[in-house]
Structure 1
C-alpha cells in the first residue's frame, strides 16, 4: 500500500506545474494534499479511480486540505472537536484497519505572534490523535510546520528560536511521538542528513539544498511491522515543498481496496 502527502502551496498553481503527471506516476492508494488554497468549485480534477474529500478554509486562497483515495472510507471527519473547521486543516478517514489523518499544522508566524495559539492547538490535536489511536492504529501525514531535531534542517544553530524550530514547537513534536507514534522516515533512516521537504523561495536555496524537513508520515507504533519504506521525493518540483511517501508491506489488518 502506497501513501503520498504533499503540501502543494496552491493546488491550482501546482496543477500547472506537473501535479497530475506526478499523481498518475505514483499511482498511490491514498494521496493527501495540504495548502490547497482554493474554495469549492474552483478546481475539477478527473481522477476516476479515486474518491475525493476536501476541507476548504473559509478564508479565500488560504490553507485547505484534500484526500484522494482508492479505498472508500467507512467514515470521514473534518476538523477536531467539531465536524467543521474554519481553516480547513484536518481530514480524518476511517478504514477497516486504521485511521488516516492529513493535517496542515498552523504556522507560528515569523514574529511568533501565533505561537501561543499553535501550542494550544498542538495539545488539542495530540489529544484527538490519541483518542483515535485508542480505537484503531493511526497514520498521520502532512505539513507539521516543525523541524524536530537539528538533523532536520540545514542551519540549526542559526534558526534556533525561529518559527518552526522553537523549543516549544519541537517539544510538542516530542510529546506527540511520545504518545505512541513513529516518525517513519527516521524509523528507516535515523542518521540521514540533508533530507529536507521544504525550501524557502530565496534564490539558489533549493539548488543548494538549504532546507527543512517539516513534512511527515507518523504512524502508531504498533504498525511498525507493516512499514516497508519512507521516502522524500525532493526531485519533484511544483511547490516549495516536495512529496513524502510511505509504503506498507500490507494494508493494516487486511483492509480491502474496493474501488
Structure 2
C-alpha cells in the first residue's frame, strides 16, 4: 500500500494559478501522480464551502485519471476559504468516507480539518491540525483540540488499525527542526504542543519516519515560505507525519519526504506499508 500526504497551501492556486509558484506546485502534483499512490491526502486546500469547481475537477482528472475525489471545506461560522482537506483515492477502492466532528473548540470543527476513509481492514485518516498562531494566541484551544483528536484516533483504533497523516503543526523533538534552541516559545515547538504529541504516540501510535530513522537529523517537511534562504540553508521543521497504530509498525516498509526542488513550504510525505486495502 502506497500513501502520500501533502499540505498544498491552496489547491485553487495550484490548479488554476499562473504564477511561478503555481507552476512549481503543479509540477509536484504531476510527480505525485507518476508515483501512483493508492491514496493521496491533501491539506490546506483553501476551497470555498462549495468545494472544487468543475475546472478544478477537470484538472485533477487530467493529472490523476482513475481517482475519486472527496473533500471538506471550512464553513460558517469558520472563516471562508480557510484550512480544508481532500482525498484522492484509486477508483477501484470503495472506502466509507466520514467527516468527523470531535468536539473541538469552536469553530475548529467547522474548519474542514479531518476526513476519514474506512476500509475493511483499516482506517486511513488525515488531519490539518490548528496552528497555535502568532503570539500563541490559539495555544489553549490547540491543546483542547489535541486531546479531542487523540480521543478520536483511539476510538478508531479500538475498531481496526489506523493510518493517520497530515500537517500536525508540531516538531516533536529537537531533532525535528533545525534550530530548536531558538524556538521553544514558537508555535509548533512549545512544551505544551510537544507533550500532547508525546501523549498521542503513547496512546498507541507510531511515528513511522522516526520508527525507521531513529537518529536521522536534517530531514524536514516544511521550510518557511517567506524566508528565501530557508530551504537553501535547510532551516526546516518536520511537522508532517504518517502515524500508524503500533500493531502496524512492523509493516512499515518506508516513510520519506518527496523532494520539491526549490519550492518552499511543505513537501509531500510518502508511506509504504506491507498491507493491502480493498
TM-score tier (shorter): over 0.9
Give the structure with the larger helix fraction: 2
SS in 2 for 1:108: coil
CA distance in structure 2 between the aligned counterparts of 1:93 and 1:78, rounded to whole angstroms: 9
Give the RMSD, CA atoms, in angstroms.
1.7
Q: Which runs of 5+ in 2 are unaligned?
A: 16-21
Structure 2 vs 1, CA of residues 56 and 239 (structure 1 numbering), >3 Å: closer, same or farther?
A: farther
Q: Which runs of 5+ in 1 are unaligned?
A: none
SS in 1 for 2:110: coil
After the TM superposition, which residues 190-209 of structure 1 pair with which residues of structure 2 at under 5 Å, given as runs? 190-201=214-225, 202-209=227-234
SS in 1 for 2:70: strand
Q: Find the partner of 2:115 among 83, 91, 97.
A: 91
What corresponds to 2:19 in structure 1? none
Once the two structures are TM-superposed, the CA of residue 25 in structure 1 deviates from its matched residue by 1.6
After the TM superposition, which residues 245-256 of structure 1 pair with which residues of structure 2 at under 5 Å, given as runs? 245-251=270-276, 255-256=277-278
What corresponds to 2:72 in structure 1? 55
Query: Are the counterparts in 2 of residues 56 and 88 from structure 1 also a CA contact under 8 Å?
Result: yes
SS in 1 for 2:215: coil
Query: Are the counterparts in 1 of residues 231 and 262 from structure 2 also a CA contact under 8 Å?
Result: no
TM-score, structure 2 as length reference: 0.86
CA distance in structure 1 between the aligned counterparts of 2:38 and 2:179, rounded to whole angstroms: 35
CA distance in structure 2 between the aligned counterparts of 1:90 and 1:124, rounded to whole angstroms: 12
Once the two structures are TM-superposed, the CA of residue 250 in structure 1 deviates from its matched residue by 2.8
Query: Are the counterparts in 2 of residues 80 and 125 from structure 1 also a CA contact under 8 Å?
Result: no
TM-score, structure 1 as length reference: 0.92
What corresponds to 1:217 in structure 2? 242
Once the two structures are TM-superposed, the CA of residue 249 in structure 1 deviates from its matched residue by 2.1
CA distance in structure 2 between the aligned counterparts of 1:236 and 1:66, rounded to whole angstroms: 24
